[in-house]
Structure 1
């Protein structure tokens, strides 16, 4: 993954939604940097006792971003990336990285549209009768990305020694 493919424009005085999207863009760049440029073996490397791999983190965040954005749009999360051969993507770095990049670009556009059209106060069904507003959904997506970017940082250091908080 090449983190420079993710645009990042400073947002010192944006609206609530714009600042939240800026924060998500920034964490996407960090995650892309922490997981990018690796071989299949490096992406699949485990560090016992954990079974977590960088490939799993990429797949997981791809699903979370696609599914939760679809739900925030009022669509079935099965529509987001259903039928995907996740094992094949996990074994092919270019396909795996491409799927994640395409997903975050698509969901970023979806969130920009939702923020401009209906705002973050729109309430959506999150399943089993649990209802949240889009603000909560976007916050949950940001939180999930932050959590797993931290995981990626630790795992990546164990894979090849890459350290740091921000891409060069």
Structure 2
């Protein structure tokens, strides 16, 4: 079932649920596709669904965990150049598990970090958890939109969230 942002919820709760609802949409965009379809480059730059999930996992760690001193999984790839590239030895299950671990770590960081707490981002800027939540909501929504288009090009499926059941 699609999560709904509470109409009168608190700031942190509302931002977190909004983020989670679009994270879930990202995973929904993968449903029913085989490995070849998930890896199929659909733009001249090679954008594919599985690469977008790998990127989103990387930035979950990079924005929610690293700036605030929380543990970050050791990456097996160069995050500056390979976070949207899925190599033949990386399985779909590997990438989905990576995304799940990153989301779980990010959720823990969100839960225990006050919105006004600041940390230092990868580019040296001081950022608050509030700013990171807003930034990541923007990033996930942007890439979920890319995934909408890529999925439609693959099999014609459209929609931003599963239909309410």
TM-score (structure 1 length as normaliser): 0.80
The 5 Å alignment of 1:1-168 reads: 8=3, 11-75=6-70, 79-84=71-76, 87=86, 91-114=90-113, 119-168=114-163
1:80-114 per-position Cα deviation (integer Å, ceiling 9, x unaligned): 12243674687422222222123213311321221
SS of the residue 1:80 aligns to: coil
Task: Note the residue ranges of structure 1 that are not aligned, 5 or more in a row.
Answer: none
CA positional deviation for 1:126: 1.6
Taking structure 1 as reference, are residues 127 and 60 closer, same or farther at Cα in structure 2, changes over 3 Å only?
closer
Asked if structure 2 preserves the Cα contact closer than 8 Å seen for 1:53 and 1:155, the reply is yes
RMSD: 2.4
Aligned equivalents of 1:36 and 1:50: distance in 2? 23
Asked if structure 2 preserves the Cα contact closer than 8 Å seen for 1:28 and 1:145, the reply is yes
Higher helix proportion, which one?
1
Taking structure 1 as reference, are residues 163 and 9 closer, same or farther at Cα in structure 2, changes over 3 Å only?
closer
CA positional deviation for 1:134: 1.4
Task: Note the residue ranges of structure 2 that are not aligned, 5 or more in a row.
Answer: 78-82
Matched residues, number: 156
Taking structure 1 as reference, are residues 10 and 105 closer, same or farther at Cα in structure 2, changes over 3 Å only?
same
SS of the residue 2:121 aligns to: strand
CA positional deviation for 1:11: 2.2
TM-score (structure 2 length as normaliser): 0.82
